[in-house]
Amino acid sequence: MSVINADIAHIFRNVADLLDIGNANPFRVRAYRRAADTLDGLGESVVDLLDRKEDLTELPGIGADLARKIHEIVETGRLAFLEQLQQKAGASFSDMMEIQGLGPRKVKALYDALGVRTVEELEQAALDGSVAGVRGFGAISQENIIKEIRRRRERGRRFLYRTARQAVAPLLEYLRRNPDVKHVEVAGSFRRCRESVGDIDILVTCRRGSRVTAYVTGYDQVSEVVSSGKTRTTVLLSSGLQVDLRVVPEVSRGAALVYFTGSKAHNVALRTRALQKGLKLNEYGLFDHEQRIAGRTEEDVYRKLGLSWITPELRENHGEIEAAGSGRLPRLITFDDIRGDLHMHTMRTDGRNSVREMAEAARAKGYEYIAITEHSRHVTIAGGLGPSELREHCRHIGRVDREMEGIRILKGVEVDILDNGSLDLPDEVLRELDLVIAAVHYSFELPRQRQTQRIVTALQHPLVNVLAHPTGRLIGTRDPCDVDMEAVIRAARDNGCLLEINASPRRLDLDERACRMAAEAGVRMVVGSDAHSTGQLDMMQYGINQARRGWLGPDDVVNTMSCSELLEQLGMKE
Ligand code: DGT
Ligand code: CA
Ligand code: CA
């Protein structure tokens, strides 16, 4: 991947800091900082300037030496001079300098007094109280250093898509309130609807000369400004999420959106395709020599590359570019295709709302049917039902169903799959239901062969319709169980079973890869919200996102069918 201006600026700032620590001539230090600012403010890619053999020394603050260094970075991606400085200083000084409140001078003072060279050593020194004794430091700055190091550690973690969405929505609203802002768009993994995101990438176009980056740093949820320049700012929100905001020129908006939406692999493949056509693609546009032939909209960029527009969920370089080139992109499922929700709980077990309330909320969403699917007895913490309790609950569901207009309430269950693959409820009870979902809720750590056999046995049971959350994973918390997914998919196909895409944002199980594998094997899926309250019915959308990332169309998912079609499909099982 070719170098972008911000990368070169970053390298120059590192050099400046290290020179500063080494007590180099202040003019020299300032020269590197100035060059970094120039690069950040440039409306065009340096790589392109070089391609056109333009003279970089004409840029403000760039002399012959710096121009040579830019060449070197563009060609090799590295700068030998920086590496020398790092070696001399001990490579981790730059890590320490990234800690908020510690400039090069303070890092040097700490090194001279305490000999600390790494963030870990610094943390240790702060914890045992020796930082407070260093000249220029005190108890408060020592406390801040400890906090800052903890915060940095936190930052390494990824956030659930839902968490990110909750933080992004009010931020976008805040940005759109600024009259200088023309367009605001979220890019990155968030726009691709990945199940988890590392940080939020936001692109903004605005009126000339306005200080949007400064405006962002004034947002009340900002807990820390990591860096802020004219065209780029990075802030941390109180949720711990990092936001990268970039101001881009209107003529480049589409190209920047393509670039910063990624994924990197998708970008690499697009750029290669451009090169094959004798064109150049970067975050400023698509260029035929010096001529910008596209850049304002994404559609233009894709079209000029001979491609139809590709929805962000597919941009992983998993065949979408080839498909877009030959008009074979799939028609993906959308929320509007969904006609019912087949996985939810009520207050009879561990849910919060009644059967009627769930049905009313579902009807208000435009659904034609729902299934109530309580846990079976084995899940004691959820107050799972035994045979007679389930029968009683089903009579209740039947009564509410008869009383309500405009929605059908199906009788279901989420029955536990026991260790040996048998079910937690007797067949004669299961036979009375419209829908039997089977699921694993314990013994996640069985060895692969036994786990697979356990699940396959359940799928072979003549009354099982759906396997819920097939791998049991909780994103970032519990690994998927060790199971042979191909064998599970085969068993589902051979036994007329459906696989669930559990839409709970911590599960999203099946994942996108398994979705695609299942569809290719001819297995149909059901997207279920697993709602435990009326509000959680909205989680359906997260499951749809996942289905789209798995290339699924409406026909791959059974709860796009009418209720009678669905019941016919479920009935075929026996
Ligand atoms: P994340 O934040 O880890 O969930 O994943 P992304 O995809 O949002 O990655 P991020 O935030 O590092 O960068 C956003 C997009 O910008 C990424 O999808 C592609 C583009 N991008 C980032 N860094 C580079 C790079 O070094 N080279 C190129 N060509 N593109 C990059
Ligand atoms: Ca990101
Ligand atoms: Ca980013």
For residues 373 and 499, membership in a common domain is answered with yes
Domain containing residue 168? 159-247
Domain boundary at 276, 299, 325, which?
Answer: 325
Residue nearest to atom 15 of ligand 1 (CA): 260
Sole residue written with tokens 């990591």: 226
The verdict on 114 and 167 lying in the same domain is no
Q: What is the pLDDT of residue 276?
A: 95
Q: Measured between alpha carbons, how far is residue 11 from residues 5, 82, 318, 460 in Å?
A: 10, 7, 33, 60
Ligand that lies nearest to the alpha carbon of residue 198, given by its number in the listed order: 1
Residue 130 covered by a domain: yes
Q: Which atom of ligand 1 is nearest to the CA of 264?
A: 19
What is the C-alpha radius of gyration for the chain, rounded to an integer number of angstroms?
29
Q: With left for phi above 0 and alpha for psi between -120 and 50, is residue 354 left, alpha or beta?
A: beta
Q: Is 260 in the pocket of ligand 1 (CB under 6 A)?
A: yes
pLDDT at res. 574: 52
Asked if 438 and 466 sit in the same domain, the reply is: yes
Question: pLDDT of the chain along its 574 residues, tens only?
Answer: 467 888 898 899 889 988 888 878 889 999 999 999 888 877 788 988 888 888 999 888 899 999 999 999 998 888 999 988 888 776 567 778 778 778 777 888 898 899 888 888 999 999 999 999 999 899 999 998 998 888 777 666 789 999 999 999 999 999 999 999 999 999 999 999 999 999 999 999 999 877 899 999 999 999 889 888 889 999 999 888 999 999 999 999 999 999 999 999 999 999 999 999 999 999 999 999 999 999 999 999 999 999 999 999 999 999 999 999 999 999 999 999 999 999 999 999 989 999 999 999 999 999 999 999 999 998 777 789 999 999 999 999 999 999 999 999 999 999 999 999 999 999 999 999 999 999 999 999 999 999 999 999 999 999 999 999 999 999 988 889 999 999 999 999 999 999 999 999 999 999 999 999 999 999 999 999 999 999 999 999 999 999 999 999 999 999 999 999 999 999 876 5
Residue 330 lies in a domain: no
Partners of residue 559 on adjacent β-strands: none
CATH number at residue 396: 3.20.20.140
In the chain, how many domains are there? 4
Q: Is the Cβ atom of 189 under 6 angstroms away from ligand 1? A: yes
Pocket test for ligand 1, best of 264, 271, 281, 310 (most atoms within 8 A of CB): 264
199 CA from centroid of ligand 3 (Å): 5
Cis, peptide link before residue 257, omega less than 30° from 0: no
pLDDT the model gives residue 91: 57
Q: State whether the beta carbon of 277 lies less than 6 angstroms from ligand 1.
A: no
- Residues sharing a CB contact under 8 Å with residue 323, sequence separation 6 or more, in sequence order: 329, 330
Are 233 and 131 contained in the same domain?
no
The whole-angstrom separation of Cα 244 and Cα 233 is 6
Q: Does the beta carbon of 542 sit less than 6 angstroms from any atom of ligand 1?
A: no
- Clarify whether residues 130 and 231 are in a common domain: no
Distance CA 34, CA 16 (A): 10
pLDDT for residue 92: 62
Which residue's alpha carbon is at the smallest distance from atom 9 of ligand 1? 188
In the reported structure, the alpha carbon of residue 342 is separated from the centroid of ligand 3 by a whole-number distance in angstroms of 37
Report pLDDT for 573: 67
Specify whether 487 is located in the same domain as 346.
Answer: yes
CA–CA distance, 370 with 514 (Å, rounded to integer)? 25
Same-domain pairing of 363 and 388: yes
Q: What pLDDT, on the 0 to 100 scale, is given for residue 156?
A: 66
Residue 452 in contact with ligand 1 by CB distance below 6 A: no
**Which is the closest atom of ligand 1 to the Cα of 190?**
8
The ligand that comes nearest to the alpha carbon of residue 197 is 1
Residue at 331: amino acid letter? R
Give CA–CA dist 238/167, Å, rounded. Answer: 9
Q: What is the C-alpha separation between 386 and 394, in angstroms, rounded?
A: 12
Specify whether 278 is located in the same domain as 370. no
**Got the DSSP string for 139-208?**
HHHHHHHHHHHHHHHHHTS-EEHHHHHHHHHHHHHHHHTSTTEEEEEE-HHHHTT-SEES-EEEEEEE-T
- What CATH number does the domain containing 98 carry? 1.10.150.110
Pocket test for ligand 1, best of 5, 159, 201 (most atoms within 8 A of CB): 201
Whether 316 lines ligand 1, by a CB cut-off of 6 Å, is: no
Q: What does the pLDDT read at residue 181? A: 96
**Ligand 1 pocket: which of 161, 190, 241, 267 to mutate (most atoms within 8 A of CB):** 267
CA-CA distance, 467 to 497, in Å (whole number)?
7
DSSP H or E run through 23: none
Ligand 1, atom 30: closest residue by C-alpha: 264
Please check whether residue 416 is in contact with residue 451, taking contact to mean a CB–CB distance below 8 angstroms: no
Domain membership of residue 274 (yes or no) is yes
The tally of CA atoms less than 13 A away on the side-chain side of residue 158 is 13
Q: Which of 527, 501, 519, 510 minimizes the C-alpha distance to 556?
A: 519
Which residue, 155, 170, 191, sits at the end of a domain? 155
Ligand 1: which of 260, 270, 316 to mutate, most ligand atoms within 8 Å of CB? 260
Kindly state whether residues 545 and 396 are assigned to the same domain.
Answer: yes
Note the ligand closest to the C-alpha atom of 232: 3
CATH number for the domain spanning 294: value is 3.30.210.10
d(CA 298, CA 77): 28
Q: Does the CB atom of residue 265 touch ligand 1 within 6 A?
A: no
- Does 157 contact ligand 1 (Cβ within 6 A)? no
Q: Is the CB of 161 under 6 A from ligand 1?
A: no
Domain assignment present for 384:
yes
Q: What angle do CA 220, 223, 229 make, to 5 degrees?
A: 90
Q: Is the CB of 197 under 6 A from ligand 1?
A: yes
Do residues 413 and 561 share a domain? yes
Say whether both 319 and 429 belong to one domain.
Answer: no
- Residue 209 and residue 136 in one domain: no
- 317 CB under 6 A from ligand 1? no
